[in-house]
Amino acid sequence: MALFRKTRYSQVGTREIKNVPKNIASKCPECKHVHIEKDLSQKLKVCDRCGHHFSLPAKQRLKQIVDEGTFRETDSGLTSIDPLNFPEYAEKLEQVREKSGLNEAVITGFGKVEGIEVGLGIMAPEFMLGSMGSVVGEKITRIINKAREKKTPLIIFSASGGARMQESIYSLMQMAKTSSALARFSEAGQLYISVLTHPTTGGVTASFAMLGDINIAEPGSLIGFAGPRVIQQTIGQKLPEGFQRAEFLLEHGFIDRIVERKMLKKELALLLKLHEGGEKVG
C-alpha cells in the first residue's frame, strides 16, 4: 500500500508523466520539467529551469512586443481558399481556423514598440505550423509595401514549417513575391529587422526571414532550409549536436544576434532608436 502511494507520488514528482494533457500542461523538451500552461504563458513561454524557449502563439507575441492598445491589424479579412482542389485541404483549413481562432498563419499590422511606430508581421506557428501559402505571402508583401509607403521600419517574426504544400506552385511563388517586395523596401532606405523563432525552415527561411538588415534569433530555435529529418535521410547519418540551431547559425555567420525572449522588446526598441532620424544618403 505504501509502495503504491510512493510510486504514484514519484510519477508526478520526478516529472515522469508520459501523456501530458494538452492545453493544461506542457513538458519541456530539454529538461523534461512539466509546466502548467497558465504559468508558462506568464513566463513568456520560457522554461524557468533550463531557459528553453517554447514556440509562442502569435497573439502572445503581439502582446509581448507591441505597446498596449497601439496595434491596428491590416488585411485581417484575407482568407485562404483551396485553389488546386487539394485533397483534405479545405477541411484542414476549416479545422485550424476554429482551433487557433486565427484566420491565417500570420498577423500583420502597425503598432508601436516603446513609442516607435513600426510595420509588423507575426507568424503563427499554431496555424498549420506557420506554413506559407498565398495568404501568408500576400499579407507579408502588403505589410512590406505599406511600411514602405508610410516610411516606417518593419519587424517580421518568423515561425514556419515551410511551404504550404497544398498550394504547390502558389506557395513557392510567395518566396519570390516577398523577397521582391523587400528589395524595394531596402532600396527606399528603410530598416527591416527579421526575428527568427522556433522553428523557421523551408521557404520562409529562403525568403524574407534571411533578408533582414539585422537578423535576430531566439535561443535554441531550429533555423534552416531543409528539414533535419530530410537531411538525415539523405546523408544516412546522425546530425551533429546543435545542428541548425540558432547558435549554429550565429557561429556560421547567418544571424547577427541571439536574444532571449524576455530581452527582445528592449533590444528591438534600442535598434529602432539607433535608426531614428537617419536619412537615406545619395
Partner 1 sequence: MASWEKQLAHLEEKIKELEIFAREQNIDLSGEIKALQEKAKKIKGEQDQDIAISPWQRVKLARNMERPTTLDYIGMICEDFVELHGDRLFSDDPAIIAGIARLGEQPVTVIGHQKGRSTKDNIARNFGMPHPEGYRKALRLMEQANKFNRPIITFIDTPGAYPGLGAEERGQGEAIARNLREMSGLKVPIIVTVTGEGGSGGALALAVGDWVGMFENAVYSVISPEGCASILWKDPGKAERAAESLKLTAEDLKKAGVIDAIIEEPEGGCHLDPKEMGKRLGEHLEEIVPYLQKMDPSSLLERRWERIEKIGVWTQETQTQKKVSQ
Binding-site ranges for partner 1 (CB under 8 A): 75, 77-81, 83-84, 86-87, 134-135, 137-138, 141, 163, 165-177, 179-184, 186-187, 202-203, 205-211, 223-227, 230-231, 234-235, 239-240, 243-244, 248-249, 252-254
Q: Is 198 in the site for Zn ion (CB under 5 A)?
A: no
Among 46, 47, 135, 223, binds Zn ion (CB under 5 A): 47
Q: Is 52 in the site for Zn ion (CB under 5 A)?
A: yes
CA 129 vs CA 14, 146, 199, 226, 260: distances in Å: 31, 26, 9, 15, 22
Binding at 50: pick from Zn ion, partner 1, none (beta carbon under 5-8 Å per type): Zn ion
Instruction: Kindly tell me which of 34 and 78 has the beta carbon lying closer to Zn ion.
Output: 34
Half-sphere exposure of 29 (CA within 13 A, CB side): 8
Q: Is the dihedral of CA 47, 48, 50, 53 positive or negative?
A: positive
Cβ neighbourhood burial of 51 (10 Å; 0-12, 13-18, 19+): middle
CB 107, min distance to partner 1, A: 15
Angle, in degrees to the nearest 10, between helices 58-65 and 261-274: 50
**Residue span binding Zn ion (CB under 5 A) among the ranges 43-51, 87-95, 147-155, 260-268:** 43-51
Instruction: Kindly tell me which of 40 and 123 has the beta carbon lying closer to Zn ion.
Output: 40
What are the cell numbers at 203?
521557404
Instruction: Kindly tell me which of 61 and 177 has the beta carbon lying closer to partner 1.
Output: 177
Binding at 177: pick from Zn ion, partner 1, none (beta carbon under 5-8 Å per type): partner 1
Torsion of CA 127, 183, 201, 48, to 10 degrees: -70
Interacting residues with Zn ion between 9 and 28 (CB under 5 A): 28
Binding at 100: pick from Zn ion, partner 1, none (beta carbon under 5-8 Å per type): none
CA angle 88, 122, 200 (to 5 degrees): 70
CA 140 vs CA 33, 88, 182: distances in Å: 36, 25, 10
CB 206, min distance to partner 1, A: 4
CB 210, min distance to partner 1, A: 4
Binding at 31: pick from Zn ion, partner 1, none (beta carbon under 5-8 Å per type): Zn ion
Q: Is 43 in the site for Zn ion (CB under 5 A)?
A: no
Q: Determine the size of the site formed for Zn ion (CB under 5 A).
A: 7
CB 124, min distance to partner 1, A: 16
Among 6, 8, 20, 30, binds Zn ion (CB under 5 A): 30
Q: Is 50 in the site for Zn ion (CB under 5 A)?
A: yes
Beta-bridge mates of residue 117: 112
In 10 A of CB 76, how many CB atoms? Answer: 14
Q: Is 188 in the site for Zn ion (CB under 5 A)?
A: no
Interior/surface letters 189-216, b for 16+ CB within 10 angstroms, e for the rest: ebbbbbbbbbbbbbbbbbbbbbbbbbbb
For residues 153 and 110, what is the distance between their CA atoms, to the nearest angstrom? 10
Is the preceding peptide bond at 199 cis, omega within 30 degrees of 0?
A: yes
